[in-house]
Amino acid sequence: MVYQSERLRHAYAGRTVLDIARLDVNAGEVLALVGPSGAGKSTLLRLLNFLETPTSGTILYQGRLITGHVPLEIRRQVTTVFQRPALRRATVRENVAYGLRLRGIPLDGAVDEMLGRLGLLPFARQPAHTLSGGEMQRVAVARALLVRPRVLLLDEPTANLDPYNVGMIEEIIRADNAERGTTVILVTHNVFQARRLAQRTGLLLSGKLVELADTATFFNSPADPRTAAFVRGEMVY
Amino acid sequence: MERGCARDIQLNDIARGLEQAIRLILAADPELLGIIFLSLRVTGLALLISTLAGVPIGAGLGLARLRGHGLITAILYTGMGLPPVVVGLFVYLMLSRSGPLGVLGWLFTPSAMVAAQTIISFPLVTGLTMTAVRSVDPALRVQVRSLGATRVQEAWAVLAEARIGVVAAIVAAFGGIISEVGAVMLVGGNIAGRTRVLTTAIVLETRQGEFAFAIALGVILLALAFTANLALLRLQGKL
Ligand SMILES: Nc1ncnc2c1ncn2[C@@H]1O[C@H](COP(=O)(O)OP(=O)(O)O)[C@@H](O)[C@H]1O
Ligand SMILES: [Mg+2]
């Protein structure tokens, strides 16, 4: 188990935006989280990336209770790809290699191999801010994977991207999960993407985890009527 | 004609002045060189001090979410708009023989001019650095942390992202103090060969009707400001 979390609650200015009784994430699984905008998906990812401390409740990472200060070696096992790629004012290659630079790891062939896998070699020396949206997101994914994270958090990584870029990003996520056993938590609006990639899928509604089940069960015979409605594409509150 | 009394300028004065100015510059007139050198020394030193202090402080203020941030910002912005001549008066009073720092014996020396220019440029460097750092996308900071940056690495990444703005801050401060006349005139005294810089020399030479020399100095001052801005545009990738 990578994460074990209980009574996880997070509030902003006194308003509770996340309230999850229990969440366990298995090592090596791809877990999809779906839910309407404002449900608390991004907030949950920030907590799991130790970017914020929950208002209350516990998070165990690899069986270790996470409190206040999180040791660097633990922080460096988890990384997030956000919906909007935040790139540095530098070349594509420098951006992709940045996580290694932070860790003081000398750059070797792995950088170019990663660039190649995401079709970025032709752009290697180009300033990152001159790329298209899809190319930028591929840079962000390459940068995250290059640090060989134990946990990869993806916050709507392919929203607004064209099918070519979506396919390329989904493929490398699948491959990385298969080859290295990376635990992946994927927040997505795209239920088809959840079906394609995830072993388990969960629905967040107004900060609550309504249902979390095997992806097949989640889509074909959900236990909760709200899940059924969401899967059918009806508005859910 | 009396010393220090301006006379009427005629068109051919300007033409002759320009011609002589070019000759003075090309001949590397020693008096001219001395004035240029002192200007660069005083401004360079003041800029170095304000940069060494102002960039880290401005970066710190830009990165931190302190209480009383608004007050600090208001103080800095006021400092950026300080009338140089008021700074000169302040430094003069501090350094005058009966002043609290009179024992230093700096009044009417380049040290006093450095002090005044440092006080003028420090808020500029600090305030503009702070603004540059604050304008870095907050999402980048979160992303950098998520990639496993330490606090120091995170601060460094933000500062690196703001680097063009930081350089612009330093260039703006350079332009502000190299062309400043009131404060250096007050605390330096415009003593020939000792505290005479480009701006104070222009004032004097113009008053005396020595337009050639004044124009030569003006051309050099313009050239310095132009070079600084070229360097900045170059850095911003606009050139
Ligand atoms: N930094 C913040 N300050 C205040 N409210 C926030 C902050 N971040 C998120 N929220 C609120 O928390 C709720 C959940 O947001 P979020 O986790 O971004 O939802 P989702 O990613 O599912 O769309 C929203 O109502 C949002 O307005
Ligand atoms: Mg979100």
Kind plus residue range of the DSSP H or E element containing A56: strand A56-61
Q: What is the pLDDT of residue B117?
A: 98
User: What sign does the dihedral B96-B101-B103-B105 (CA atoms) show?
Assistant: negative
Number of domains in chain B: 1
Which of B166, B170, B168 lies closest to B178, judged by CA?
Answer: B170
Residue A34 class from Cβ within 10 Å (0-12 exposed, 13-18 middle, 19+ buried)? buried
pLDDT tens for B203-234 read: 999 999 888 889 989 999 999 889 988 888 88
- What is the CATH number for B142? 1.10.3720.10
What is the pTM for the complete model shown?
Answer: 0.85
Structural domain of B61: 2-235
Which SS3 state, helix, strand or coil, does residue A6 take?
strand
Q: What is the pLDDT of residue A158?
A: 95
B224-233 contacts, C-beta under 8 A, 24 or more apart? B224/B40, B224/B178, B225/B175, B225/B178, B225/B179, B228/B171, B228/B174, B228/B175, B229/B171, B229/B175, B231/B171, B232/B167, B232/B168, B232/B171
Choose which residue among A9, A18, A42, A155 to substitute to test ligand 1 binding: the one with the highest number of ligand atoms within 8 A of its C-beta: A42
pLDDT tens for B55-113 read: 999 999 999 877 888 899 999 999 999 999 999 999 999 999 999 999 999 999 999 99
Mutation target vs A (from B133, B143, B154, B156; most A CBs, 10 A cutoff): B143
Taken in order of first residue, the domains within chain A and their CATH numbers are: 1-77+150-157+181-237 (3.40.50.300)
A150 touches chain B (CB under 8 A): no
CB contact under 8 A, A79 and B146: yes
Mutation target vs B (from A49, A53, A98; most B CBs, 10 A cutoff): A98
pLDDT tens for A104-133 read: 999 999 999 999 999 999 999 999 999 999
Q: What is the pLDDT of residue B231?
A: 84
Q: How far apart are CA B55 and CA B60, in angstroms?
A: 8
Q: pLDDT 10s digit of each residue in chain A, 237 long?
A: 999 999 999 999 999 999 999 999 999 999 999 999 999 999 999 999 999 999 999 999 999 999 889 999 999 999 999 999 999 999 999 999 999 999 999 999 999 999 999 999 999 999 999 999 999 999 999 999 999 999 999 999 999 899 999 999 999 999 999 999 999 999 998 899 999 999 999 999 999 999 999 999 999 999 999 999 999 888 655
Complex confidence, ipTM:
0.94
